[in-house]
Amino acid sequence: MSKQVLVIHGGAGTIRTQDMTAEMESAYLKGLEEALLAGYSLLEKGSSAVDAVLAATKSLEDNILFNAGRGSVFAADGAQEMDASIMDGSTLKAGAVSAVRNIRNPVELAYMIMAKSQHVMLNGKGAAEFASLNNIQTESDEYFYSQFRYEQWKQMQESGEMALDHNVVLRGNKKFGTVGAVALDKFGNIAAATSTGGMTNKQFGRVGDSPIIGAGTYANNKTCAISCTGHGEPFIRAVTAYDVSCLMEYKGLSLQEAMDMVVYEKLPKIEGEGGMIGVDALGNAAMVFNSEGMYRGVRNEEKMETAIYK
């Protein structure tokens, strides 16, 4: 029997402590705790790592504070387009969606693609049709709307910029993006999931690292399960999540050593700001970031911890 563990993130960011009110901080930490509970209670009942990362990620998608599902950022055309993926380390099966609109839980659609289709990634009309055939819940634009994201988008539109959500400063608050989870279940299987609204004022149709297997998400029982957050473009170019797995498989590095090397040494060379969470099949867990903070949490038999800053 393996020692089950669940690790989650709610995005990496340069959030300054002085911009965070006690109220906001406790709301974010509560959101992280709820997600840990949603996923870990399933692990305790003997559910799979896939089920646990799905439940934890859905919980964060449903929380308007996080940039995924409800509360996602706005693209350049004013719509909310979301990316998500999930991977099962025991079968190496994966599912992903990119630039989908109006899907309540993009990670659930990614899961359905993994479970019920011959494909790994769907987008556009095909993703929408697959969602409706599989009774995936959709919501109106109003459901995804949040005043803060709208103001953030307006600010970006005026300046003509595109911004990583966690680099945007609005009313003194720096914000963050993306959610994800990795888990080890009692059967020794690991899994990873990631979901995001991406970057404020991004070109519509832009796809970040989050739905790309090997970049934002990867899981393999032989090595590790990884979910990334940060500036998507460098993360894609660095094949970030798979690089951690390769360092473990081919160089014999531990999970922590491999994540440290990628996040502190390799990513900064290509301006890859952000971080990642990981687990391995032995029950080791790690959370590493080169940004000022990363919303994160871990739960196993001994402890439940949530944190934002270094």
Using rule CB under 6 A, residue 167 touches ligand ASP: no
Judged by CB under 6 A, the stretch of 181-189, 193-201, 244-252, 291-299 that binds ligand ASP is: 193-201
Instruction: Among 72, 178, 223, 245, indicate the residue that binds ligand ASP (CB under 6 A).
Output: 178
Question: Which is closer to ligand ASP, CB of 208 or CB of 297?
Answer: 208
**Which 238-277 residues touch ligand ASP, going by CB under 6 A?**
274
178 carries an active-site annotation: yes
- Which is catalytic among the residues 14, 17, 91, 178? 178
Using rule CB under 6 A, residue 80 touches ligand ASP: no
How many CA within 13 A on the CB side of residue 143? Answer: 14
Using rule CB under 6 A, residue 11 touches ligand ASP: yes
Using rule CB under 6 A, residue 196 touches ligand ASP: yes
Smallest gap from Cβ 252 to ligand ASP, in A, equals 29
**Which 202-231 residues touch ligand ASP, going by CB under 6 A?**
208-210, 229-230
Instruction: Among 32, 53, 110, 199, indicate the residue that binds ligand ASP (CB under 6 A).
Output: 199
Smallest gap from Cβ 214 to ligand ASP, in A, equals 14
Judged by CB under 6 A, the stretch of 30-38, 158-166, 181-189, 283-291 that binds ligand ASP is: 158-166
Instruction: Among 36, 87, 164, 238, indicate the residue that binds ligand ASP (CB under 6 A).
Output: 164
> Mind giving me the DSSP string for the chain?
----EEEEEEEEE---GGG--HHHHHHHHHHHHHHHHHHHHHHHTT--HHHHHHHHHHHHHHSTTSSSSTTPPP-TTS---EEEEEEETTTTEEEEEEEE-SBS-HHHHHHHHHHH-S-SEEEHHHHHHHHHHTT--B--HHHH--HHHHHHHHHHHHHT--B-GGG-EETTEE----EEEEEE-TTS-EEEEEEE--SBTPPTT---STTSBTTTEEE-TTS-EEEEEE-HHHHHHTTHHHHHHHHHHHH---HHHHHHIIIIIIHHHTT--EEEEEE-TTS-EEEEESSSEEEEEEEESS-EEEEEE-
Number of residues this chain uses to bind ligand ASP (CB under 6 A): 16
Where in the sequence numbering do the catalytic residues fall? 178
Q: Which residues bind ligand ASP (CB under 6 A)?
A: 11, 164-166, 177-178, 196, 198-199, 208-210, 229-230, 232, 274
